Amino acid sequence: MRNSVRLSSLAYAIAILFIVPLSCSPPQAASPDGERLYADYCSSCHGEEFRNTSAGVTFDLRRLKPADHDRFLNAVLNGKNQMPPWRGALEPEQIEAIWAYLRATVDK
């Protein structure tokens, strides 16, 4: 019985070693392109370095969590409330660069 408990504990520990690294992604590195794109397309409404100064008129992007990537993409591509859609104006790589800049800045 003791050996089976030890084996199941060992199997559990090994499983954790393989599962945890897959579910925890490291913070993304900011790219100069993402910072420039944010400054060009986003900062006039969402503030410099994500410091929203609109008194609640625009969404504070610092509230987005890493799991909100799909929400971010949907809002950027399709627009939301006062935000216009950027579909066709920004390439997918540009949107991802902005997301990487956001994550690298907010997740410090």
Domain span at residue 70 reads 28-106
Place of tokens 């006039």: 44
pLDDT in tens, 8-48: 554 444 544 444 443 344 445 556 799 999 999 999 999 88
10 within a domain of the structure (yes/no) = no
Instruction: With beta carbons less than 8 A apart as the criterion, state whether 97 and 33 touch.
Output: yes
- Asked whether residue 99 carries a pLDDT value surpassing 90, the answer given is yes
Give the 3-state secondary structure of residue 80: strand
Give the 3-state secondary structure of residue 32: helix
Domain count, the chain: 1
More confident position, 9 or 98: 98
58 within a domain of the structure (yes/no) = yes
At 55, which CATH number? Answer: 1.10.760.10
> For residue 77, which amino acid is it?
L
pTM of the model: 0.70
Instruction: Provide the Cα torsion 94, 46, 108, 78; round to 10°.
Output: -40
pLDDT in tens, 59-85: 999 999 999 999 999 999 999 988 999
Cβ within 8 Å of residue 16, ≥6 positions away? none
